[in-house]
Amino acid sequence: MSEGVDVVEAVRHEWPLGPYLKSARESAGLSMQETARRAGVSHAKVRDLERGYKIKDGKQYPVGTTKSTVECVADAVGADVAEALRLVGITKDDPSRPGRRPKGLDLSAVPYEELLAELGRRLSKLPRQP
């Protein structure tokens, strides 16, 4: 087996959404362009979701997505939306959790005054512009 095939297989195992969406799209007889139009996303986004990575500056990066994008693309190809979300670890009840992105820091328990004071301290350390 060639190295390229091994990489493709590794991505498939790591990113099960891709083969799932591609299979549904092909079963529906849709092109990537038509899927993108129906989902309201770019052709590149559909392509990247199917293959599990994007290429930027000649380098491969894992594709990032959001719940709403997965829902729109899955719906456009007639796939089960809940299953598509499950494949990327997003639940239907989760309002906006992005896939393959670090979770944000929850500062809701920090008093507003402390946040402002910390922001002021950090801003004061920045070089002043004339």
Least Cα distance to 66 among 47, 42, 49 occurs for 49
* Cβ count near 104 (within 10 Å): 8
Q: What percent of the chain has pLDDT over 90?
A: 41
Residue 114 forms part of a structural domain: no
pLDDT value at 18 more than 70? yes
The whole-angstrom separation of Cα 119 and Cα 115 is: 6
Query: For residue 60, what is the enclosing H or E element?
Result: strand 59-62
pLDDT digits (tens, 9 = 90+) for 28-76: 999 999 999 999 999 999 999 999 988 888 888 888 888 899 999 999 9
How much is the average pLDDT of 87-101? Answer: 66
Higher pLDDT: 13 or 129? It is 129
Structure confidence at residue 95 (pLDDT): 64
Residues of the domain holding 38? 3-103
Residue 116 forms part of a structural domain: no
Structure confidence at residue 30 (pLDDT): 97
CATH number of the domain where residue 93 is located: 1.10.260.40
